[in-house]
Amino acid sequence: MALKKGSEVELTVESTAFKGKGVAKADGLAVFIPGTAPGDKIRAMITKKKKKFREAKILEILEPSSIRIKPRCSHANTCGGCTWQHIPYAEQIKFKEQHVRDHIERIADLDPDIVQTIIGCDEDFYYRNKMEYSFGTRRWLTTEEISQEEFVDDSGFSAGLHAPGRFDKILNLNECHLQDPKSFEILDFVRSFCLENDIPAFDTFKKEGFMRHLMIRNSHHTDDFMVNLVTYQDDQPLMKKLASALLEKFPGITTIVNNVNDQTNPTAIGRYEHVLHGPGFIVDNIGEYTFKIHPNAFFQTNTAQAEKLYDVALEFADLQPDDVLFDLYCGVGTLSLYMSKLANKVVGIELVDVAIKNAKFNAGENNVENVDFVLGDMKDTFNEDFLNNQPEPDVIITDPPRSGMHPDVVKKLAELNVPTLVYVSCNPSTMARDLKELKEVYKVEKVQPVDMFPQTYHIEAVAKLTRIEN
């Protein structure tokens, strides 16, 4: 079997791997196929040829896996938001736990048995507290439309999510099951309002139009509900008309904001904003702490599961009343505040200026006085000068971005004589890479996977490290 690009092949999927793709073997090579489940027998086409592996796409499912189920959403096979709706949630978390075990064994070269049983979500649908929809002038065609012989027009107003890997194509959604059902109803209403009132979508290429994004946020512990309309132009009479229509249809909306992004960048963050209704923010809790969440502020996307993640970090930190805690990559300070009740002092470090401002604001709102927040890039800030001006830490928590920690930060952590290190990760593969370096001076006691994003391949993990005595 040549396994050349474009060739067709029959495969049996054996397991799952990176980005949730199924893995089959052919000619001694791994073949990665998205949208498959272990046990599927398929006919596939090779789409990418690499030296040590191949990538393929399904042409036909010859015999479905015994675990394969019908996705709840009609967009599941096209949308990039969910990759595993065809797999039962109980199986999803088994695969995620195994992925973490594989990373710990293969990348970190550690005993995989230090990985604990995964903590799953109580709700595997409607768990997100934030969705960011986009508007566009070109919609993503379905597989059925693409296969038609006659021409199918892809132009016209569309509202939904970006097609996987495409900045210029929008999957025109008919449903979505990731956030409160009211979220999709609002998207559908805004789409209809725009069509009825001849309001154009923003054209990515021509740099013209009006509607860019619709961001919806809802609170887990309160009834607060935010609608954030992101537009290319500033037209307050039109936005007030839309806001009035939204409130009439959805009286439960507590605040409506219009972010105006009149720049060419594709973000949903406006250069400035108008509050059309309500206070301009929503309020939610993590544990006993209250947070005012503004339209562009970061907040954990799965509130209920964030509390479970933080409880694991709190347990691993094993803080004592006199302890000093450093929280690296602290963001808006949610974890710093969560830890502050058990520590003498907490110092948070974060690169993003607006995040530090939010962190300080959150500390003030919660009357937390034993937390300081420092602005700076970790690889530059976390140095001898910084450490000499701070109390010596007893515990360090690090919660880096998906890329993991900068090598200079890893090196500095290895040099410090800190008794306990807690690593919170949204990407266990980069965490495992960092643990491989740190294990020379720290014992990796255990790793706890926590699922924050059902129906996707993403998985969080928390590792506990203790300093090895010389």
Give the rounded distance of the alpha carbon of 75 from its chain centre.
19
- Of 314, 198, 215, 301, the residue nearest 259 (C-alpha): 215
DSSP letter string, 333-400: SHHHHHHHTTSSEEEEEES-HHHHHHHHHHHHHTT--SEEEEES-HHHHSSHHHHHTSPPPSEEEE--
Widest CA span of the chain, in angstroms? 74
160, 132 contact by CB (below 8 A): no
Q: How far apart are CA 19 and CA 457, in angstroms?
A: 6
User: How, if at all, do strands 289-293 and 324-328 pair?
Assistant: unpaired
Q: Can you tell me the distance from the alpha carbon of 126 to that of 219, in angstroms, rounded to the nearest whole number?
A: 12
Q: Cα–Cα distance between 47 and 132 in angstroms, integer?
A: 30
- Radius of gyration over every alpha carbon of the chain, rounded to an integer in angstroms: 24
Count how many Cα atoms sit within 13 Å of the Cα of residue 372 in the half-sphere of its side chain: 10
The vertex-222 CA angle with 216 and 227, nearest 5°, equals 20
> Phi first, then psi: what are they for 136, rounded to 5°?
-160, 170
Active site residues: 426
44's CB contacts (< 8 A; 6+ apart) are 8, 9, 10, 11, 24, 31, 33, 56, 57, 58, 59
Is 299:281 a contact under the CB 8 Å cutoff?
no
Distance CA 451, CA 426 (A): 10
Answer for the pair 6, 45: CB distance below 8 angstroms, yes or no.
yes
Distance (Å, rounded) from C-alpha 434 to C-alpha 408? 11
